[in-house]
């Protein structure tokens, strides 16, 4: 029983196999219910007869609130099995200096009994392109990563900013 979903610009890579639950990348699908439906079907079937040990490997470079809710719901299903004595561990990877991602892991950990291990990794590219923008709503000027700018554009909020320097 295996499920693999290749990543897209807005959805993460998903690899679900006996003893391994792996979700990596950016999670902001257009339709969260449709994206997570096969994952929930797989999880519900998996918990009927899980492996002796399940490694849950999560590395979410960006998630929207709907994705976090679905991931939380998925982990709660697994948590039920953990409380029944099945051995599991969550490996929460986050990029260096990404305190929001690290905090999201701690928030999820507070809801669960499954042990967490935090793995800090270097930024995907040491030479992350930075751009200077002005927030037209607040007037503040700041430097952001190209990846964050792409997310702003993807969410349709670029009209609220002025690019000052690329």
Residue 122's pLDDT band, with cuts at 50, 70 and 90, is: confident
Top pLDDT among 138 and 146 is at: 138
Lowest pLDDT segment from 79-83, 87-91, 119-123: 119-123
Instruction: Report pLDDT digits (tens) over 26-68.
Output: 999 999 999 999 999 999 999 999 999 999 999 998 888 899 9
- Is 137 strand, coil or helix? coil
What is this structure's pTM?
Answer: 0.75
Instruction: Give the C-alpha separation, 163 to 166, whole Å.
Output: 7
- Mean residue pLDDT of the chain comes to 91
DSSP labels, 87-134: EEEEEEEEETT-HHHHHHHHHHHHH--S-EEEEEE--S-TT--EEEEE
Q: What percent of the chain has pLDDT over 70?
A: 96
| Torsion 59-63-65-67 (CA) sign | negative
Sheet containing 130-135, strands listed edge to edge, beginning at the edge strand earlier in sequence: 141-145, 130-135, 161-165
Q: Answer yes or no: is pLDDT of 125 > 60.
A: no
Instruction: Give the C-alpha separation, 98 to 11, whole Å.
Output: 19
Sketch out the chain's domains with CATH numbers: 3-123 (3.30.750), 125-166 (no CATH)
């Amino acid at each position: 029983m295996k499920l693999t979903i290749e990543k897209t610009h807005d959805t993460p890579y998903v690899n679900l196999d006996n003893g391994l639950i792996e979700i990596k990348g950016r999670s902001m699908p257009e339709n969260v219910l449709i994206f997570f439906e096969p994952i929930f079907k797989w999880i519900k079937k998996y918990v009927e007869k899980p492996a002796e040990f399940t490694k849950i490997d999560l590395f979410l470079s960006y998630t929207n609130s709907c994705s976090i809710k679905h991931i939380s719901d998925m982990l709660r299903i697994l948590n039920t099995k953990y409380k029944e004595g099945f051995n599991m561990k969550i490996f929460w990877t986050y990029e260096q200096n990404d305190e929001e991602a690290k905090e999201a892991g701690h928030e999820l950990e507070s809801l669960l009994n499954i042990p967490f291990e935090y793995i800090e990794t270097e930024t995907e590219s040491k030479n992350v392109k930075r751009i200077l923008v002005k927030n037209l709503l607040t007037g503040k000027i700041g430097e952001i990563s190209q990846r964050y700018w792409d997310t702003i554009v993807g969410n349709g909020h670029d009209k609220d900013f002025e690019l000052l320097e690329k």
